Amino acid sequence: MIGLGLSIPEVALRRSGSLTPAQIAGTALVAAWDAENVASLSLAVSAVAAWTDSKGGAIATQDIIDSRPTWSATSFNGRPGIAFDGVDDFLNMTGVGSLPVGTAPSEIWALVSQTSPASEISVRTAFGYGGASTSGRLAGRTVASGVNRATASATVAATKGVVDFTGIHVIRAIFTNSAVSVTLDGEPFQASGASAINTTSVRIRIGANTSATAGGFWLSLINSIFVINQADPTWNETVASQFLLSLKRKGGLA
Domains of the chain: 8-250 (2.60.120.200)
How confident is residue 1, by pLDDT bands cut at 50, 70 and 90?
Answer: very low
How confident is residue 17, by pLDDT bands cut at 50, 70 and 90?
Answer: low
The upper half-sphere exposure of residue 156, i.e. CA atoms within 13 Å in the direction of its Cβ, equals 15
146-165 residue pLDDT tens: 999 999 999 889 999 889 99
Q: How far apart are CA 54 and CA 52, in angstroms?
A: 6
95-145 residue pLDDT tens: 999 999 999 999 999 999 999 999 999 999 999 999 998 999 999 999 999
Burial of 174 (0-12, 13-18, 19+ CB in 10 A): buried
What's the whole-model pTM score? 0.92
